[in-house]
Structure 1
Amino acid sequence: MRLTTLIAVCCLAISNFLTAQVTLNGLIIDASNGDPLIGATVLVKGTANGTVSDIDGSWQLTVSGLPIILQFSYTGYAPTEIEVSSTEQDLTIRLGDNAITTDVVEVRGRRISEKQQQAALTVETLDAIGIKETPAADFYDGLGSLKDVDLTAASLGFKIINTRGFNSTNPVRSLQIIDGVDNQSPGLNFSLGNFLGASELDVNRVNLVVGASSAFYGPNAFNGVIAMETKDPFLQQGLSAQLKVAERNLIKGGFRYAHALANAEGEEWFAYKINLEAFRADDWVADNYDPVYNTDLPADNPGGYDAVNRYGDEANSIFNYSRARNLPGLGIIRRAGYREEDLVDYDSENLKAGAAFHFRLNPSRGLESTELLLASNFSTGTTVYQGDNRFSLRDIKFFQHRIELRNRDDFFLRAYATHEDAGNSYDPYFTALRLQEASKSDSEWASSYAAYWQGTIVKRFRERDDFPQCFPVDCSLTEQDARRAEYFAREDIRDLLQEYHAETRTVAEQARGFDTYDRYEVGTERFQRAFDSITTTLASEGGTRFFDKSALFHLHGEKTFADVWQPNADSRLELTVGANGRLYTPNSKGTILLDTFGRNIDTWEVGAYGGGTLHLNNRYKVSASLRADKNQNFDLLFSPAASLVYTPTPTSTARLSFSSAIRNPTLNDQYLFYNVGRAILLGNIDGITDLVTVPSLINFSNTGDQSQLEYFDIDPIRPEKVRTFEAGYRTTVLEKVYLDATYYYSFYEDFIGYNIGVDVQTNGALITGAQPYRVSANARDRVTTQGFSIGGNYYFARFYTLNGNYSWNKLNTATEDPIIPAFNTPEHKYNVGVSGRDVPLNLFGNPVPGLGFSVAYKWIEGYLFEGSPQFTGLIESYGLLDAQINFDIPKINTNIKFGASNLLNREVYQVYGGPNIGRLAYLTATYDWNNR
């Protein structure tokens, strides 16, 4: 009986203890501007029970009962106390009315939150303060200074972010979301950088999750996730406006207005925000006229050569007269082509507009109220995009609409739709081919060239006294070839060849036969009429204009079960479950995809996931999750993930994780049908048979032996997969130094690339027809990569921060599989910088309010950038210096910032085939009035 009684008493005591426990939730923000304070301290007065605010300023604390007194403190702000007597109490804490400066500098007061420090994956953050402090000309460019991040620029309007290798100018292996909404182009299936994105004034923070993350974010979170979070109109009210002017005639302006309405009880029940941002600039010009990498002809070849940013001058077998003994000196010729700068609109523009309406369904609960959100965003503009070719995106438009029901940290049900309109976008590479074909076909042009050379130029050479008159009766053919090669290598004869080829080219460009026309010369009305006709005619109808009015529709729901099991105040189990579905409705009228003749290529995909996190004694956090995804055209796939986070001290965290990701083939990988003149680019949903390899076709054309032809088939395309093991350690040393180191090892399977083959028709020893294809395909080899990164921040002298990071990424597998996509990542890179915030300085006897500065240096090791054959080449090592200084004008609530990216104006190629990027000096004025 005694034992039974004792057990009953213990159970009752435990029951009373658990019943008495109360979990409080709240938010800590800056009283002056509404920005969340990250890492602020919350402490139960008179105890050691406390926590720190999260990356969005929120906090959660379990206490033994009510009422209690909570103490709130943050470096640089006066502490405050508040009595809490009810769980319904609004615990939105505003610090800053009596800001103070302390002698102690703490890392947690510098925006390193507990949640970020204890994250299982590598998470880099650029918050509102970081956006203000970045010396880059734009917050999106500022992401390039984060650890593990590769940022490349194909133009002013199109920037690409990638992590951990396999970078490309069409970033299909990275996912970009804004407030949980995927902002990819529905037709292209990847994000267009910040072209369709958030305005700078509305960005609260950007979290960059590095590495495979499908288990957490769904398909296509293959190498990383760029997660943008915008400002909440309930929390960050008022008017903000910004004007930026810069070199290259850049001007950018925008405003944000947010306001909340209260009911009769003074409880805010409705809030809205409106955003508008406009940008224009003279874009960087792609004017690289070096010979395309790994091509045979040098720039001084008298008959021409293939230049990187000149299109229509590519190789053709009928242009090779090097073995024609009756045409001495003709050699290999090329058509003149057209420069990109003569075919592309470099007047880069972007307009973004958005509105959001938030309704609190239970206003008395404040932040804990369930909210209904309605939001719409619109974006349009003109820029240059680089993929297999360079593309002029002109007057492209995006529309995005969202409806969401949510309760913070509890559940959400989100539905959104994205529509796009390609506007007047076109392919300048194909335009160059069309312009030349409108004058003469390649064969007609080559015939005109050779005929004039034979009838006029050869006669001139033979009349020269020094020309080697050697005939088969006098010497062998081999000797004749050797003498002529020696003759045409002479410097004076090379100069003469340049003159004769220029003359012959002029003649060949003139109409000299039936249905041929003079070359369309840039700058003439005749050229403009032909150019306008080609670029306004759909590609499926003989022009080069795209038609794309594709859309995607997405539904996503998630529920979190907090404290499913809580044996004590320091241990608990959380569970999260969710599901989503998506429908793509492509519509290209056959200009890009195989959606002609009424073919329906709408594609759906669904997914579901679940996972849990077990917190043990505030030291261990064990997480596991599993996601299942099914695409209409592919098998069910699973993405597991697991992690262990150990926190031996409040300032140190060790972590081990396993993560995985899948990438479904894009609509292009499945349904592409795009004729680029030299070849047809094909998707591969059904598989391709009986193609001939290019080397064997060349052997057949030289020998006439059909046995030389090698046939092959290509299996239907299937999803890519990656598995990653990661280990890391984060720590704070002496309260002033924060360090974060990570090592990863990844296994990739079924890479999506392409195969090249030819559909050939023969008649005995002759080729009667041949159509080259580039077909989407999976690699057979499995490859592995590994990498290491370390970053640190040192906070010193109260106002200053020294920061730096280093990344090493390595492709381990040596393979000749042509389908393996290029790694396109420097093996070594680093960033170093120094910044100051609220620096005390007197100027002419008066203090400069809000004075801040930052200087950052980035170094990238050279590497081979592999894109399409036209855009494959070496990126040389380079270093860039950025700097900025900013200060406040309190009387007009304005911050002035001036600086420059690439301050020393070192022009560099960040992507092969793209423009040379130089300095961009800027001046920005930001007005910020908070009505709270």
Structure 2
Amino acid sequence: MICHFRNYQKLNYLNKIKIGVFLLLMIGAGTLSAQTIIRGKIVDAQDGEPLIGANVRIENTEVGTVTDWDGVFRLETELNPPLTLILSYVGYENMKVNYAQNDPPLNIAMNSQSINLGSVVIKSERLTEKQKTAPLTVESLDLNAIKETASTNFYDGLGALKGVDLTAASLGFKIINTRGFNSTSPVRSLQIIDGVDNQAPGLNFSLGNFLGSSELDVRKVDIIVGASSAYYGPNAFNGVISMETKDPFFHHGLSAYVKGGERNMLETAVRWGHVLRNDQGDAWMAYKMNFSFLRADDWEAENYNPVFDTEAGVGNPGGYDAVNIYGDEYYPGNDLTTAPPWRFVGMGIWHRRGYKETDLVDYDTKNIKGNVALHFRTNPDAEYLSPEIIVSSSLGNGTTVYQGDNRFSLRNILFLQNRLEFKKKDKYFLRAYMTIDDAGDSFDPYFTALRLQEQAKDETTWSADYTNYYRSNYAKKPVELGYPELQIDVDESGNIITSFDRDAAQMWLDANQDLLKEWHQNAQTAANQPSPVNNGSKAFYEPGTDRFREVFQRIISRKSNSTEKGTRFYDKSALYHLHGEYKFEPTFLKSWTVGGNARQYRPDSDGTIFYDSAGVTLTNFEFGIYSGLDNKWGNREQWTTTLTMRLDKNENFNWLFSPAASVVYQPKDNTYLRLSFSSAIRNPTLSDQFLDFNVGRAILSGNLHGVDSLISLDSFDEYRKTLETDKLSYFSIDPIQPESVKTVEAGVRTSLWNKWYLDAGYYYSIYNDFIGYKIGLKGTFDAQTGLTDELQAYRYSANSTNQVTTQGASIGLNYYLNDVLALRGNYSWNKLNKAFEDDPIIPAFNTPEHKFNLGVSGRKMKIPSLDLKNHQLGFNINYKWIEGFLFEGSPQFTGIVPTYDLLDVQINWNFINLNTTIKIGASNVLNNQKFQTYGGPRIGRLGYITILYGN
């Protein structure tokens, strides 16, 4: 065993004054505790890694605690030193350590046992006290789990956690969601890295880990499942993805890896951390530098099935609207199905030739991430208990495909984040950061397809050319080939009688589908040529030709505003955030936390996304304050209660209150029962407030001030049949308001028979004021003819008036066969209790009702005929099953995601003496190509090999 002790040096005069004033204030407030506080850190004697969940107990008492993720512990007792501490940890030799009065923090290194255990006691296996007593469902990946994940990377590995939905819209863009109402624009989930919001300021949501942290620098990931605004602030609506990076004081030296695989994937990363010490040998500064690079051929979106609930299917002679072809959408002017069947025979519905996404999108995914951080200890003598100043800067850049209302090609997007923080662990922090993004050369492929068509021929001219060709060449053909004619007779009274054999007509149409397809194809070919009546029209721009490339580059290089009329985004938005928190420790409570934060958004899109053109400057300011009480009580302090209250104010909306309360009961060691009430609010995003985005067929608009006199789509359909304007009905939309959710949750965490670990929970949620969309028309009409003079479709952000409830349950079970092998499984059930079919506002649930994971893993396995001390083998296998569900996005991207399953496998060989690990594996190893989001690509196998040096 190794145990290091070091005496404090004498405090300087200034420090004495500070502490004296502090003590006087504390005594005057009556909150100074007379308890003995023992602090320390426990690490592995071999590699210096912190031991998570090691037990620390005062000899001959029941007073104890466990170490946290950093191997750090804090133990309070009313007993006076000297005291003897008993230390224990699974697979390590027990230790006794003496503690005297005023000893400095303990630095303890434990030796692993030299024999294999017949069974494994899992009291604290990878779980901190904070996790076990957490009032909400918390899923985690620790440092070992990150290294051992069977997926291609740690972020994909989050999808194997209980209750977590991971959706791949492309190779570079992954979405994490929990408990329903999923979206490819994850505005209802909050992603933070070291407490810093990782959202893109203009989009108001995170782009997965595309602009996040290098895998080499991630120490752990916690997913807090469900409503969490009281704990994490606005927008922690469905949950929080909290990443914590490695502290260079504890994780220093060189780490690097190179990863290669299928789809021409190449990923490299390097991390360097270093500690500087003063003349007394105290670490006073540490720094780290990170760099990572990824390139790969992205998955291509090639779904050419008809869009969900379309007017025409695959067999329609005039074509149909395919999911990943843009510009072929249904157009009312190309629909003659309501005409009498003896007129326009065979025309029905016809579609314009569109452009495949593969003709428009750059699938060469690239991602560069860099980070530099400086850490300064203001009191080096106190080591990890010292206050700390952190200065860091992070940069992300790359090219990928993002899916929202449309599919978007993000090219050379840039993300810059600077952070300044002053903190003391578990006591206080003051954090300031700013985030700036730059959309680079990003553009909208859907809108680009429409622009390409407009450059050749406007919709009205194209439709007229199509119709004229068809009628000129084929109007009389059907009758000549046996199609029934309208029969007109006169009865004895002179009345005209008409008759038509509809059955015979339908039989003829069914029997001549190939002929009709030929006619429609000829009509489309003619309409795609320059118009005979419009000298300004041009032929269809054929992909792959020079004339296509020329006009395509011209369109995507111009901004998508009313001046330049291109499809490129201009987004140089920014956010500025300030957050402070202080934790008191009065005698009558375990802790009392107070805090507050303020944020300002500064969107800048030059009219390409928001209505900030013509000199209009947009800003949005919000702030919040919160307070939380945490206490333990009972004979054995087996009860833990928390109460948190939070108030938030956005400049454009009223005050919002999001309380939370919980109780956790520990009836026996390692069994925790929890009951909680939590709530969350979500302020409307910048898009919900300020959006002004023309996507061709409609203008997507924010709704900060309300909307009057929109024409309903149903009434417009009735008007089209008669051109009678009195058929039109109008409606208004109230200004957008925040949405809210309240959740009650119950659960249990326990160890069983020294080999099992169980975590199960149930929740019930109530949602109000869902933010969704309403679609309507604005237009003017000729008073004489009733025809439209102008007509424009709008989609406005709006709130639902209905209340929705959801419920769900999850269970996770781990079985530890021995100190090497472990089995695991989890199951999740999520249910939307009632859907309001007549309410267009409620967002889609977009979540499978049933899903489960099964896995088996081995670590530090002995390799026959090799020295165990220098070679270790590990593996991880995970099987995931996802039930099919209806994914509701935009009209273009709504449809069924079929049931699918995935098998991820990896095996790793650790060369301990070389500090190197080789890892070989594959996500979706059986190449089960399935959609994970409707409108996205089929995701197949991605095999890889990784060589990792360092920790």
TM-score by length of 2: 0.92
Could you say if the C-alpha distance between residues 598 and 460 of structure 1 is closer, same or farther in structure 2, counting changes exceeding 3 Å? same
- 1:111 Cα shift? 0.7
Tell me the residue number matched to 2:154: 139
CA distance in 2, matches of 1:404, 1:495: 70
Partner of 1:551: 574
- Give the 3-state SS of the residue equivalent to 2:599 in structure 1: strand
Q: What is the DSSP-based 3-state SS (H/G/I as helix, E as strand, rest coil) of the residue aligned with 2:475?
A: helix
* CA deviation after TM superposition for structure 1 residue 846, in Å: 8.2
Which range moves more in the overlay, 448-457 or 428-437? 448-457
Residues 119, 817 of structure 2: 8 Å contact kept? no
The CA distance in 2 between the partners of 1:343 and 1:495, in whole Å, is 31
Structure 1 position 97, deviation (Å) = 7.1
User: Cα deviations across residues 66-120 of structure 1 (Å, max 9, x unaligned)?
Assistant: 3333333322233444333354613233334776643340213531222211111
CA contact (8 A) 2:117 2:818 kept: no
8 Å CA contact 2:679–2:742 kept in 1: the answer is yes
| Per-residue deviation, residues 588-626 of structure 1 (Å, max 9, x unmatched) | 000000112222220100100001111114200111010
2:343 aligned with 1:321: no
**Any conservation in 2 of the 1:26–1:367 contact (CA below 8 Å)?**
no
Which runs of 5 or more structure 1 residues have no equivalent in the other structure?
A: 1-17, 567-571
The range that moved more, 166-175 or 57-66, is 57-66
Answer yes or no: is 1:525 the counterpart of 2:546: yes
Say how many residue pairs are matched.
Answer: 903
**Alignment equivalent of 2:902, drawn from 858, 880, 883:** 880
Answering whether residue 628 of structure 2 is matched by residue 611 of structure 1, we say yes
What is the distance in 2 between the residues matched to 1:215 and 1:873? 35
Deviation at 1:855, TM superposition (A): 1.1
The residue aligned with 1:275 is 290
What letter corresponds to residue 353 of structure 2 in structure 1?
A: A
Output the aligned Cα RMSD: 1.9
Q: Secondary structure at the match of 1:35?
A: coil
Give the aligned residue type for 2:853.
N
**Residues 78 and 100, structure 1, Cα contact 8 Å, conserved in 2:** no
Once the two structures are TM-superposed, the CA of residue 42 in structure 1 deviates from its matched residue by 1.3
Cα drift, residue 565 of structure 1: 1.6
Report the CA distance shift for 1:747/1:368 in structure 2 as closer, same or farther (over 3 A). same
Deviation string, structure 1 residues 712-763 (Cα, Å, up to 9, x no partner): 1101001001111111111111121111111111110000001011112123
For the residue of structure 2 that corresponds to 1:286, the secondary structure is coil
SS of equivalent to 2:754: coil
SS of the aligned residue for 1:130 comes to: helix
Alignment partner of 1:28: what SS? strand
Matched, 1:250 2:265: yes
Question: Counterpart in 1 of 2:467?
Answer: 450
Kept in 1, the 8 Å contact 2:38–2:105? The answer is no
Deviations 1:778-814 (A, max 9, x none): 0000111111111111111331111111111111123
Alignment of 1:676-825 (within 5 A): 676-764=695-783, 765-815=786-836, 816-825=838-847
Residues 160-171 of structure 1: pairs in structure 2 closer than 5 A: 160-171=175-186
Say which of 644, 661, 668 aligns to 1:625: 644
Residue 675 of structure 2 corresponds to 656
Q: Is residue 2:518 matched to residue 1:496?
A: no
421-430 vs 813-822, greater mean Cα deviation: 813-822
> Who is 1:195 aligned against?
210
Match of 2:10? none
Question: Equivalent residue for 2:592?
Answer: 575
Letter in 1 for 2:708: T
Between the aligned partners of 1:20 and 1:670, the Cα distance in structure 2 is 53
* CA shift for structure 1 position 236: 1.0
8 Å CA contact retained: 2:123, 2:751: no
Opposite residue 280 of structure 1, the aligned amino acid is R
* Structure 2 stretches lacking a partner, 5+ long: 1-31, 491-495
Match of 2:435 in 1: 418
User: Cα 1:740–1:98, aligned 2, differ >3 Å: closer, same or farther?
Assistant: closer
Which residue pairs with 2:42 in the alignment? 28
Identify which of 855, 876, 899 aligns with 1:833.
855
Q: Which amino acid aligns with 2:824?
A: N
CA offsets 1:18-58 (integer angstroms, 9 cap, x no match): 97631122222334444332111112345443221123422
Helix, strand or coil at the partner of 1:167 = coil
* Change over 3 Å in CA distance of 1:418–1:477 after alignment to 2: farther
Shift of 1:901: 1.0
Q: Distance in 2 between matches of 1:587 and 1:88?
A: 56
Residue 261 of structure 1 contacts residue 270 of structure 1 at CA under 8 Å; is this kept in 2?
yes
Matched, 1:113 2:165: no
User: Is the contact between residue 805 and residue 834 of structure 2 (CA under 8 Å) also seen in structure 1?
Assistant: yes
Q: Retained in 2: the 8 A contact 1:759–1:770?
A: yes
8 Å Cα contact 1:128/1:205 also seen in 2: yes
Within a 5 Å distance, the mapping from 1:205-284 to structure 2 comes to: 205-284=220-299
Structure 1 residue 320, shift from structure 2 partner: 1.5
1:853 has 2:875 as partner: yes
Alpha-carbon distance in 2 for matches of 1:189, 1:86: 52
Corresponding residue for 1:15? none
Contact in 2 for aligned 1:842/1:848 (Cα 8 Å): no
Q: Distance in 2 between matches of 1:364 and 1:222?
A: 42
Aligned partners of 2:385 and 2:114: how far apart in 1? 28
Aligned pair 1:85/2:85, yes or no?
A: no
Shift of 1:488: 2.1
What amino acid maps onto 1:551 in structure 2?
Answer: A
Tell me if structure 2 keeps the 8 A contact 1:863–1:876.
Answer: yes
8 A contact 2:123–2:670 mirrored in 1: no
Assess, with a 3 A threshold, how the Cα gap between structure 1 residues 425 and 476 changes in structure 2: closer, same or farther: farther
Name the SS for the 1:235 alignment partner: coil
1-side partners of 2:319 and 2:171: how far apart? 31
State how 1:376-455 maps to structure 2 within 5 Å.
Answer: 376-455=393-472
Q: Give a deviation string over 1:663-701, Cα, whole Å, max 9, x none.
A: 000000000001111111110000000111110111122
- Kindly tell me: are residues 327 and 711 of structure 1, through their superposed partners in 2, closer, same or farther at Cα, counting changes over 3 Å? closer
1:924 aligned counterpart, secondary structure: strand
Check 1:431–1:111 CA distance in 2 against 1; reply closer, same or farther (3 A cut): same
Distance 2:431 2:868 in 1: 52
Task: Provide the rounded CA distance (Å) in 1 between the counterparts of 2:450 and 2:488.
Answer: 41
Greater Cα shift, 286-295 or 757-766: 757-766
Q: Deviations over 1:806-835 (max 9, x none)?
A: 111111123131100011111111111111
Residues in 2 aligned to 1:93 and 1:376: alpha-carbon distance in whole angstroms? 33
Query: In the TM superposition, what is the alpha-carbon distance from 1:660 to its structure 2 partner?
Result: 0.5
Contact residue 902 and residue 920 of structure 1 kept, 8 A: yes
Q: Which range is displaced more, 268-277 or 23-32?
A: 23-32
AA aligned opposite 1:595: D
Counterpart pick for 1:204 among 208, 213, 219 = 219
Give me the whole-angstrom Cα distance separating, in 2, the residues matched to 1:228 and 1:34.
Answer: 22
Matching residue of 1:674:
693
Q: Which amino acid aligns with 1:281?
A: A
- Are the aligned partners of 1:246 and 1:920 in contact in 2 as well (CA < 8 Å)? yes
Do the aligned residues in 1 keep the contact of 2:823 with 2:855 (CA within 8 Å)? Answer: yes
Indicate the SS of the match to 1:434.
helix
d(CA) in 2 for partners of 1:824 and 1:476? 54
Q: Which of residues 45, 52, 63 is equivalent to 2:66?
A: 52
Aligned partner (choices 907, 913, 927) of residue 891 of structure 1:
913
* Pairing 1:74–2:95 present: no
TM-score, normalisation: structure 1: 0.94
Counterpart in the other structure of 1:862: 884
The amino acid that maps onto 1:559 is: Y
Partner secondary structure for residue 755 of structure 1? strand
Q: Is the 8 A contact 2:863 2:872 kept in 1?
A: no
* Cα pair distance change 1:454/1:111, threshold 3 Å: same
Return 497-506 or 249-258, whichever deviates more.
497-506
Q: Deviations over 1:368-396 (max 9, x none)?
A: 10100000000000011110000001100
Paired AA for residue 634 in structure 1: F
Distance 1:516 1:482, change over 3 A: farther
Distance 1:508 1:31, change over 3 A: farther
